[in-house]
Amino acid sequence: MAFFLSAHTPFPDARLADEDGLLAIGANLAPERVKTAYTQGIFPWFNPGDPCMWYSPPMRMVLFFDELRISRSMRRVLKSGGFTVTLDKAFEEVMELCKSVKRKGQQGSWITTEMQQSYTVLHREGFAKSVEVWQNGALVGGLFGMDTGRVFCGDSMFSLVPNASKVAFISLAAVLQQKGYALLDCQIYNDHLASLGAREIPRDEFLAILNA
């Protein structure tokens, strides 16, 4: 059963989440609240109009950098020079496109206006970060997430042209590995991330790495 939070209630232990990963309901998306959540292995995930819902799934989708898979065709894309990659140059635009770009099988977006406002504040504080992929001067792909200093927690990505989100993901993984990060957190399983080498690990293992 999920815990109910007021604006000032601290988060319960992430390991107390239910079998679906739901830990708590309530509180708000105040920047400090969001920052605390990510540093404790918790993230917000709910539909617009619903109360805040906080998750810590029993199995966590992560990428260990030495397990990154880059296909031959993708290596050719990376070497072609057709894309330019930047970091933290267009955070708000990336988040807006992650919200607005339609995805197959999905209706609407979990990225609310309140979330955009809170994450933008966290970006200005250096906690929320983005990767941008450009083609001929236009923003065609990217991702954003939270940087805990040891683990980067990816939240969402978008692509307007083929391979752009993969370029963002692979480029971020390279930067994080070079800086000595432990892993790239992808939160929840999906086939796209699995094709790039991400896999699920138990929550306890993830929390141990996050808190090391």
* pLDDT tens readout for residues 71-85: 999 999 999 989 999
User: Which residues contact residue 54 at a Cβ distance below 8 angstroms, ignoring those fewer than 6 apart?
Assistant: 5, 11, 22, 23, 24, 25, 27, 37, 42, 43, 44, 45
Strand, helix or coil for residue 204? helix
Separation CA 144–CA 88 (nearest Å): 9
State pTM to two decimals. 0.93
pLDDT in tens, 9-21: 999 999 999 999 9
Q: In percent, how much of the chain has pLDDT > 90?
A: 91
Neighbouring-strand partners of residue 60: 201
pLDDT confidence bin for 33, thresholds 50/70/90: very high
Q: Which fold has domain 61-210?
A: Aminopeptidase (3.40.630)
How confident is the model at residue 68, as a pLDDT? 97
- Tell me the CATH number for domain 3-57: 3.30.70.3550
